[in-house]
Amino acid sequence: MGRITLAHGSGGREMNQLLEELIFRKIPSWMKFVEGGLGIDFPDDAAAIPIDKERYIVVTTDSYTVSPIFFPGGDIGRLAASGTINDVLMLGGVPIAALDSIVVEEGFEEEVLEKILESILTVFESVDVKLIGGDFKVMPKGQLDKIIISMVGLGIAEHLIIDKNLEVGDKIIVSGPIAEHGVAIYASREELMLEDSQLRSDVKPLTDLMIPIVKKYGRDIHAASDPTRGGLAMTLNNWALSSNTTIVIDEEKIPMREAVKNFCEMLGLDPFTLASEGVAVLGVADEVSEEILQQMHSAGYSEAEIIGEVRAKEDMGLVIVKTSIGGYRILEQPVGEIVPRIC
């Protein structure tokens, strides 16, 4: 047996392999889901338990260990609350409640903890999500790096969005500029942030975007994700593999702010692998793609774009990028550490 590295927690190929070998394969098939629902039989950021023939309880759990805990555009509290809400939304659920578990290092400042809790409550209040329970622990000095927040999110869905349902001809839509969160964390951590910098995390809940679209077009949305760890590259590769399709995207159509692009070019970072925390990626039926895009624009997501489409069914599950110079390349799953402790 080898040892766990930071790469195993970065959301790329190594993490997928670790989960498959150490967890998914060891769970008996009868334990992977509740009958009629969705579970580890098809891994996603959330799972579903049927209530009746028309509704599901959507549940998600995640742990947040970002460094630094305060960053341009947010903090670990805003990140935890927003990420939990978004994971419920991307399975087609309407978020209704959450529970949190907070572990801090001995000596952690009460004033800092209060600010983080205020961020959590502000996000939940803005989208009418109830905080219905939680836990609090303290670790001895030196046995934890400041703070870890774990959350459980609960919601109700009438129609589940399951990423393996992509079909040939579906269009891929991105709701806004990618890689904002990853770049902001990296720049802040490495003390590369200038006073007037435009590098800020995009972290926010996406209820205003997703709930109206799911309500109107639910059955025409065949895949949905917020591209966090592993970024757009991991999201699209997961979709292609799970649905046995080839996805082709146009590099020039992918929204990205100039400051982010310049930063990535300067430091040799791949923006396709960097996390976004306030962006939705959707795979939608061709016939409603323009309508959904216009609804995104009307909801204030003015930089949303159709970036590509599903081209073919095949066993390999490929993502192909049409480059800005007119060539083509395969967009592979990210490997290595990317930016550790990003969410």
With cut-offs at 50, 70 and 90, classify the pLDDT of residue 195. Answer: low
User: What average pLDDT does range 117-129 have in this prediction?
Assistant: 98
pLDDT at 29: 84
Lowest mean pLDDT among 42-46, 80-84, 94-98, 264-268: 42-46
33-157 matches 163-330 in fold: no
User: What average pLDDT does range 290-316 have in this prediction?
Assistant: 94
With cut-offs at 50, 70 and 90, classify the pLDDT of residue 97. Answer: very high
Does the structure show a pLDDT above 60 at 25?
yes
Helix/strand/coil (H, E, C) string of the chain? CCCCCHHHHCCCHHHHHHHHHHCHHHCCHHHCCCCCCECCCCCCCCEEEECCCCCEEEEEEEEECCCCCEECCEEHHHHHHHHHHHHHHCCCCEEEEEEEEEEEECCCCHHHHHHHHHHHHHHHHHCCCEEEEEEEEEECCCCCCCEEEEEEEEEEECCCCCHHHCCCCCEEEECCCCCHHHHHHHHHHCCCCCCCCCCCCCCCCCHHHHHHHHHHHHHHEEEEECCCCCHHHHHHHHHHHHHCEEEEEEHHHCCCCHHHHHHHHHHCCCHHHCCCCCCCEEEECHHHHHHHHHHHHHCCCCCCEEEEEEEEECCCCCEEEECCCCCEEECCCCCCCCCCCCC
With cut-offs at 50, 70 and 90, classify the pLDDT of residue 20. Answer: confident
Of the chain, the percentage scoring pLDDT greater than 70 comes to: 98
Does the structure show a pLDDT above 80 at 338?
no
Of the chain, the percentage scoring pLDDT greater than 90 comes to: 78
pLDDT at 12: 79
Looking at per-residue pLDDT, the higher value among 105 and 335 belongs to 105
Tell me the fold of 163-330.
Phosphoribosyl-aminoimidazole Synthetase; Chain A, domain 2 (3.90.650)
Does the structure show a pLDDT above 80 at 197?
no
Does the structure show a pLDDT above 80 at 316?
no
With cut-offs at 50, 70 and 90, classify the pLDDT of residue 320. Answer: very high
Q: Which CATH number is 33-157's, of 3.30.365.10, 3.40.50.1110, 3.40.50.720, 3.30.1330.10?
A: 3.30.1330.10
**Average pLDDT of the chain, as a whole number:** 93
Q: How do the domains of the chain map onto residue ranges? A: 33-157, 163-330
User: What average pLDDT does range 210-215 have in this prediction?
Assistant: 97
Among 275, 337, 271, 269, smallest CA distance to 9 is for 337
**Helix axes 286-298 and 207-217, enclosed angle (nearest 10):** 150
pLDDT digits (tens, 9 = 90+) for 74-95: 999 999 999 999 999 999 999 9
pLDDT digits (tens, 9 = 90+) for 149-181: 999 999 999 999 999 999 999 999 999 999 999
